[in-house]
Amino acid sequence: MWTVCGLGQLLVLLLLPMGGISMLDTVVRLNQAALSYVSEIGKAPLQRALQVTLPYFLDQSGEVLQPTRVQMLKVHVARLHLNFIPDFGVHFLAAATFNFEVFRNPEQPLVVTMPVVLLADVQVAQGTIQTPVVSIPACYSFFGNVSMAAPGSNSASPALLVRLQKHIKAVLSTKLCLSIANLVQGLNVHLGTLIGLNPVGPESQIRYSMANMPTITNDYISLDVNAMFFLLAKPIVLPVDSTHFMVPRQVGTKGAMATVGLSQDLFDSALLLLHKAGSLNLDITGQPNSDDNPLNTSTLGQLIPEVARQFPEPMPVVLKVRLGATPIATLRANNATLRLQPFIEVLAMASNSACQSLFSLDVVVNLSLQLFVSGVRLQGTTSVLGDVQLTVASSNVGSIDVDHVHTLMGTVLEKPLLDHFNALLGIGVPLPNVVNLRYTSSKVFIYEGYAVVSSGLLYQQGHSGD
């Protein structure tokens, strides 16, 4: 469990690397809308962080120094504002009101209030382990005058209020900036965990890391990051070198908190992972007397005489679908497609449970790909584009007229293949995330050679990102 308060968790999002694949570039941009959201959500946890303990106040109003307990009642952060500092990080401004009880008379303590303005500069850099590192090189606190919280109830002399103000200011001038520094520095522990493995499937993971120093302008922070897929602890590397990936500034939804650019190489690597894992392979088995699945020797025998001769009694037929080549993803403007090229061996199950190879097919299936984000995962669904293309690769049942078997093979292959592939795409690839944070109202845009996720952000205490 994370011990950093909610504001810290939200600030992590502004600094963590997102996307990326096998030493490939992916770009994430977080704009002022994201900072404004953090500012609003972060008020409550910041108030808790600023709740510090004060030492006794030595009251000199009498002949003898009188130790008086001063207790902070509450902190109300009326304003929290964050904005980008170009080439540096984030500027932090908080306006708060502090309320104290002063126990000069334990039965009737004085309740006083003091306004405070806090300013800090949060620097964002790249750490030695390729994670973002944050620090506060400058922090300042500005104090207003102490006054009675409820004038007239328990009055105090102006001289006493001046002495109280001096005491409170002397304590808080160091403690408040230290509290903010501890809040921000605590993020580095959690930022270091970003290089850990995030599960993709039962035996596969993705690991993220920062590629270089962040780019920070007046309007956004942009991060180039790398990531790598792993299968059984071994990295998945594309057979060709990736080119540098750049995303134009004006893409996606205008004003979206987070804009994540996903390169063509990301999709290629994800499909290569599925291929190497054998996840795309499946067996489709028919029944001898089934109207729902006519995959049996009796049906085939009506199209291929030799099958009818060898199997006078109906026997189940099995399609062993194997992906001989890695699926190909193509990204065009507003259009994403996948090309599958499975090799299918058609087997008949004999009465002794042995399998006899009848023939094999080279198949090409073109799919339309729709992408969406659920929680923290990029997921997808597909539908068939055009006809399934079949070519006979080999035959043990004589000559085969492809036109005769095309309809049958398309019928029995299409739905199981789509169901299987869509189930894999439904698992999805996790986008980088922190505890209790989700992507909301996300839209995926397809451009030439890359995709963009435009999203809002939602922080929910007690909810995981997935």
- How many Å apart are CA 186 and CA 128, to the nearest integer? 17
pLDDT value at residue 19: 37
- What token pair was written down for 344? 């299918």
Q: What is the pLDDT of residue 349?
A: 84
Torsion of CA 13, 204, 445, 329, to 10 degrees: 160
Query: How high is the pLDDT of residue 433?
Result: 73
Q: What is the CA radius of gyration of the chain?
A: 32
Fold topology of 247-453: Bactericidal permeability-increasing protein; domain 2 (3.15.20)
What's 56's DSSP letter?
P
pLDDT of amino acid 147: 85
Instruction: Compute CA distances 162 → 122, 229, 278, whole Å.
Output: 33, 63, 76
Count of CA atoms in the C-beta half-sphere (13 A) of 17: 34
Q: Residue 75: what pLDDT?
A: 93
Placement of tokens 């804009």 in the chain: 259
Q: CA 372, CA 364: separation in Å to the nearest integer? A: 25
- Residue 335 tokens, joined: 């259009």
> Are 28 and 259 a contacting pair, CB within 8 Å?
yes
Global pTM? 0.83
Q: Show Cβ contacts of residue 362 under 8 Å, excluding neighbours closer than 6 positions.
A: 341, 343, 390, 391, 392, 393
pLDDT for 12: 46
**How does 258-289 read in b/e, with b if 16+ C-beta sit within 10 Å?**
bbbbbbbbbbbbbbbbbbbbebbebebebeee
Same fold, 6-193 and 247-453: no
pLDDT at 345: 95
Q: Which CATH number fits domain 6-193: 3.15.10, 3.10.20, 3.30.70, 3.40.50?
A: 3.15.10
Domain boundaries, the chain: 6-193, 247-453
Going from the first residue of the chain to its last (466 residues), give the mean pLDDT of each consecutive group of 10, the final group possibly shorter: 42 42 66 91 89 81 69 92 95 94 77 93 87 89 86 66 87 91 78 73 84 90 84 82 73 88 89 90 77 79 92 90 91 94 91 84 95 93 92 92 87 90 92 79 94 90 59
332: Cα separation from own chain's centroid: 24
User: Residue 411 is encoded by which pair of tokens?
Assistant: 């019928």
∠ at Cα 194 (189, 195), nearest 5°?
110
**pLDDT value, residue 463:** 56
Rounded distance between C-alpha atoms, residue 185 and residue 193, angstroms: 14
Q: How confident is the model at residue 423, as a pLDDT?
A: 94
CA–chain centroid gap for 296, Å, is 46
- Helix or strand or coil: residue 194? helix
CB 149 within 8 A of CB 115: no
Q: How far, in Å, CA of 84 to CA of 33, rounded?
A: 11
Q: For every residue of the chain, which 3-state class applies, written as one string?
A: CCCCCHHHHHHHHHHCCCCCCCCCCEEEEEEHHHHHHHHHHCHHHHHHHCCCCCCCEEECCCCCCEEECEEEEEEEEEEEEEEEECCCEEEEEEEEEEEEEECCCCCCCEEEEEEEEEEEEEEEEECCCCCEEEEEEEEEEEECCCEECCCCCCCCCHHHHHHHHHHHHHHHHHHHHHHHHHHHHHHHHHHHHHHCEEEEECCEEEEEEECCCCEECCCEEEEEEEEEEEECCEEECCCCCCCCCCCCCCCCCCCCCEEEEEEHHHHHHHHHHHHHHCCCCEEEECCCCCCCCCCEHHHHHCCCHHHHHHCCCCCEEEEEEEECCCCEEEEECCEEEEEECEEEEEEEECCCCCEEEEEEEEEEEEEEEEEEEECCEEEEEEEEEEEEEEEEEEECCCCCCHHHHHHHHHHHHHHHHHHHHHHHHHHCEECCCCCCEEEEEEEEEEECCEEEEEEEEEECCCCCCC
Query: What pLDDT was estimated at residue 286?
Result: 76
Q: Give 203's strand partners.
A: none
The pLDDT of residue 16: 44
